[in-house]
């Protein structure tokens, strides 16, 4: 017999096994496990965490959203007790006795884990720990043989183990780079992707511009839908202005041209021609012919299919033809929406299209 065997569970048993639901500190926003919030220096991350800790320790709604009342531990490792006191004066007249602070702690692999375990043993109703900041608890003794990714992943995993073992939420406050990433803002979190890969939930807090009191908080994670919250930071208090779910965020990414095209097709019932002819007839000046088939192919199932519009496209010898029409109820049997091969080509198979050729 081997010394170690793989512990497995079959799908049928897994489906029949009851598991506790994920505990949320703030409903649908902050689940148990380890989270990281990244933001620029002095943006107000610590004020946000203090406001969160007060709401949770009192069991009060946070931005109108229900919270899980519990004991909260806040490691304010860049502050003093005097500064924390002054901030509390600004935020509350009713300080809770289940909201605890520390301004010094050990580091990862050098006492921090033991300190957190001891606190949890002494305060068994603790369900939220905030570590501000991550850099203050990093393991200073780096292994020269391991890369940055491995080190980042290991540091996060050491704290995540405690969150998972005790079934609590731990939030780590961190910084972001000055270099922007328009494709994925979570890549702006300082360090390697080992950090975002190890956490359960990630948050990015960014001002709309350098002088604005408004900011955007973007969240994504294993147990939450990606969402965006527009915030206002005024008089040292963060307030929620607007909250958008992933579906709403995706809709905002859809070009307005496509919704205009839907109305155009509804007025015509059917349209056939090239992309150039289409935008000319619509009087569209801001969308290029090359973008038309790309937009239609990319957003067909978001915009056109729900409106009952059938889309087909095929290339002749010299140009690509677009056909858009309102479904008559029999189109499902006419073949799939998508790209037709040139009749001169062999095997005239119709394929599903997630994009189209340029006009």
Identify the CATH number of the domain in which residue 81 sits. Answer: 3.40.50.300
- The least confident of 21-35, 172-186, 327-341 is 327-341
pLDDT digits (tens, 9 = 90+) for 324-337: 999 876 554 444 45
What mean pLDDT is predicted for residues 16-26? Answer: 88
**3-class SS of residue 219:** strand
Q: Are residues 76 and 225 in the same domain?
A: yes
Tokens linked to 217: 């908080």
What mean pLDDT is predicted for residues 300-315? Answer: 86
What mean pLDDT is predicted for residues 51-60? Answer: 98
Q: List the beta bridge partners of residue 315.
A: 320
Q: Are residues 240 and 258 in the same domain?
A: no
Total number of domains in the chain? 2
Residue 158 pLDDT:
95
In a domain, 8, yes or no: no
Tokens linked to 26: 């703030």
CA-based R_g, the chain, Å: 27
Give which of 147, 143, 167 is closest to 24, Cα–Cα.
167
In a domain, 278, yes or no: yes
Tokens linked to 279: 């935008």
In a domain, 176, yes or no: yes
Residue 249 pLDDT:
54
Of residues 336 and 245, more confidence is placed in 245
Q: Where is the domain boundary, 226, 245, 264?
A: 245
For 22, the enclosing helix (H) or strand (E) is none
pLDDT band (50, 70, 90) for residue 349: very low
Under DSSP, the state recorded for 29 is T
Q: Are residues 230 and 285 in the same domain?
A: no
Question: Is 60 exceeded by the pLDDT of residue 268?
Answer: yes
Q: Are residues 138 and 266 in the same domain?
A: no
Asked if 65 contacts 217 with a C-beta cutoff of 8 angstroms, the reply is no
Of residues 248 and 127, more confidence is placed in 127
CATH number for the domain spanning 275: value is: 1.10.10
In a domain, 5, yes or no: no
Q: Are residues 103 and 181 in the same domain?
A: yes
Q: Are residues 236 and 275 in the same domain?
A: no
What mean pLDDT is predicted for residues 317-326? Answer: 87
pLDDT band (50, 70, 90) for residue 145: low
User: Structural domain of residue 119, as residue ranges?
Assistant: 20-245
Q: Are residues 112 and 76 in the same domain?
A: yes
The owner of tokens 């148990």 is 32
Q: Are residues 181 and 306 in the same domain?
A: no
What percent of the chain stands above pLDDT 90?
56
Q: Are residues 312 and 220 in the same domain?
A: no
Q: Are residues 78 and 156 in the same domain?
A: yes
In a domain, 88, yes or no: yes
In a domain, 11, yes or no: no
Helices 112-122 and 148-166 sit at what angle, rounded to 10 degrees?
Answer: 10
For 85, the enclosing helix (H) or strand (E) is helix 81-91
* Strands ordered across the beta sheet of 237-245: 99-102, 71-76, 126-132, 169-175, 33-39, 201-207, 214-221, 227-234, 237-245
What mean pLDDT is predicted for residues 110-128? Answer: 97
Q: Where is the domain boundary, 245, 280, 304?
A: 245
Q: Please provide the DSSP assignment of 97-148 as one string.
A: TTEEEES---BTTBBHHHHHHHHHHH-TTEEEEEEE-GGGGS-SS--TTS-H
Q: How far is CA 229 from the centre of its chain?
A: 11
What mean pLDDT is predicted for residues 206-225? Answer: 88
- The CA distances from residue 87 to 92, 157, 159, in Å, are 9, 31, 27
Question: Is 90 exceeded by the pLDDT of residue 14?
Answer: no
Q: Are residues 267 and 340 in the same domain?
A: yes
Tokens linked to 272: 């056939």
Q: Are residues 317 and 191 in the same domain?
A: no
Rounded to 5 degrees, what are φ and ψ at 354?
A: -110, 10
């Amino acid at each position: 017999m081997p010394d170690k065997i793989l512990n497995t569970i079959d799908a049928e048993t897994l489906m029949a096994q009851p598991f506790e639901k994920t505990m949320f500190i703030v409903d649908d926003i902050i689940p148990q496990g380890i989270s990281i919030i990244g933001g620029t220096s002095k943006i107000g991350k610590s004020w946000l965490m203090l406001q969160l800790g007060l709401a949770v320790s009192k069991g009060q709604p946070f931005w109108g959203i229900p919270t899980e009342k519990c004991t909260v531990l806040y490691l304010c490792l860049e502050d003093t007790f005097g500064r924390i006191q002054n901030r509390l004066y600004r935020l509350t007249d009713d300080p809770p006795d289940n909201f605890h602070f520390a301004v010094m702690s050990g580091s990862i692999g050098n006492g921090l884990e033991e300190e957190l375990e001891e606190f949890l043993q002494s305060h068994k109703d603790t369900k939220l720990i905030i570590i501000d900041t991550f850099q203050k608890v990093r393991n200073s003794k780096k292994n020269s043989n391991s890369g940055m990714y491995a080190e980042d992943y290991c540091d996060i995993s050491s704290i995540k183990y405690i969150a998972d073992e005790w079934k609590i939420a731990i939030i780590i406050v961190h910084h972001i780079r000055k270099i922007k990433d328009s494709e994925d803002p979570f890549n702006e979190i300082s360090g390697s992707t080992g950090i975002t890969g190890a956490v359960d939930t990630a948050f990015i807090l960014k001002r709309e511009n350098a002088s604005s009191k408004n900011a955007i908080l973007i969240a994504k994670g294993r147990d939450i839908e990606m969402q965006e919250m527009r915030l206002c930071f005024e008089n040292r208090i963060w307030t929620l202005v607007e909250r958008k779910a992933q579906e709403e965020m995706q809709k905002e990414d859809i070009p307005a041209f496509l919704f205009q095209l839907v109305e155009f097709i509804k007025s015509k019932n059917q349209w056939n021609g090239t992309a150039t002819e289409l935008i000319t007839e619509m009087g569209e000046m801001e969308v290029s012919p090359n973008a038309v088939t790309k937009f239609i192919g990319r957003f067909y199932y978001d915009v056109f299919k729900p409106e009952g519009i059938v889309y087909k496209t095929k290339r002749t010898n010299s140009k690509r033809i677009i056909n858009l029409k309102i479904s008559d109820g029999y189109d499902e049997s006419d073949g799939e929406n998508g790209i037709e091969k040139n009749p001169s080509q062999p095997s005239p198979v119709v394929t599903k299209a997630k994009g189209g050729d340029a006009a």
